[in-house]
Amino acid sequence: MGDAEIIPIGTRGRPGRGTGKQQPSSAARGLAGGPAKPRPAPRKAAAAKGERTRPEEQAPAAAADAPAPEATDEPAAVAELRAPVTTEDRGPLAGIPASDWMAAFQAAAVEVFGEQWEPQLARFLAFLRRRLTGEYPVDEYGFDREVTEKLVLATLRPIAERWFRVEVRGIENIPTEGGALVVSNHSGTVPVDGLMTMVAVHDHTGRFLRPLGADLVFRLPVISALARRSGATLACSEDAERMLAGGELVGVWPEGFKGIGKPYSERYKLQRFGRGGFVSAALRTGVPIVPLSVVGAEEIYPLVGNVPALARLLGVPYIPITPLFPWLGPLGLVPLPSKWLLEFGEPIRTDEFERGAADDPMLVFNVTDQVRETIQQTLYTLLMKRESVFR
């Protein structure tokens, strides 16, 4: 094997790789060892890639390749604009006219905001100016109508319409004007039902629901300010009576934390409605009581456990444990997309009672029990009509 002759493929055994010549070809000589002559790079390729060359190398090529200038009637300024721009005489932001930037901006604005993007932009800038200068009205409770309508409700509306697919019934039972008290069941581990009720009431009646919140809501750093801006106030008889007497639509959830913190096995079973303070406020102001039954909120965070020791340490009513939280971390905070049904019942009139009826404990208890029983029976009816939890 050591004396065997190696014949390259395709040469037919001749030294010239099939050329018929006794001398090897230039390509064959290039395969042998030894210094190879460098091939000069084409000047046109270098110019096409934008590489810089020495002036003495550019001049002959430009003189040889440049075509003779054509005689045109264009002004010198137009001819200068038509001239190609190289990397040497263009700055970082040069080369794109301002009109092109404006056209691109207008096209993007139309694509995002529609044909009426200019009025929307003007309204947004006016909103920012009012926020920065403080030229916006706030009532005595801290309610900011503009922030509530353009920020809070606008953010919650897609969740109500597309995630929970809220269906509203009996909305005609809410008075179009004047004071009224909406009393609802409370559930869901996190008080999302109150937020969805605010969206439903505003979108169907145009009125703002003024929630009565627990004191814990107004101790939280960020939530407190946002709740005040959204129209919420402390759940006390004095504030409730003042708002009802002023013609506001007030919402109350008498079950409180016992309602939203009850285990999943007790879903849709109403807890105790407190001492009937909301009924006393309605009796003193003579406004109607509108019972509200909410189905669907119980399933967004099914509460299967609690950590009482940690809850006492943190000063909160409970630490919820659901099938997804805390096992999935932040992902477990995403509510399940259950189907929601909101039904407003017939108003219970309070202006027919005698003066001083709010000081009669038995009368207050009877009206409270009537409201609670109405909501409970409506919940059972809605549950029977519901086809599935998620549709």
Distance in angstroms (rounded) separating the CA atoms of residues 96 and 79: 17
Mean pLDDT check: name the lowest of 119-128, 206-215, 251-260.
119-128
Mean pLDDT check: name the lowest of 12-26, 161-175, 176-190, 363-377.
12-26
The predicted pLDDT at position 64 comes to 45
Q: Which of 83-92, 112-121, 122-131, 381-390 is modeled with the greatest confidence?
A: 381-390
Mean pLDDT over the full length of the chain: 82
More confident residue, 293 or 84: 293
Taking 70 as the threshold, does the pLDDT of residue 58 lie above it?
no
Per-residue pLDDT reduced to its tens digit, 229-261:
999 999 999 999 999 999 999 999 999 999 999
Which has the closest alpha carbon to 291: 367, 390, 234?
367
Distance in angstroms (rounded) separating the CA atoms of residues 364 and 254: 14
The CATH fold of domain 173-385: Glycerol-3-phosphate (1)-acyltransferase (3.40.1130)
The predicted pLDDT at position 300 comes to 96
Per-residue pLDDT reduced to its tens digit, 21-39:
556 556 555 555 555 555 5
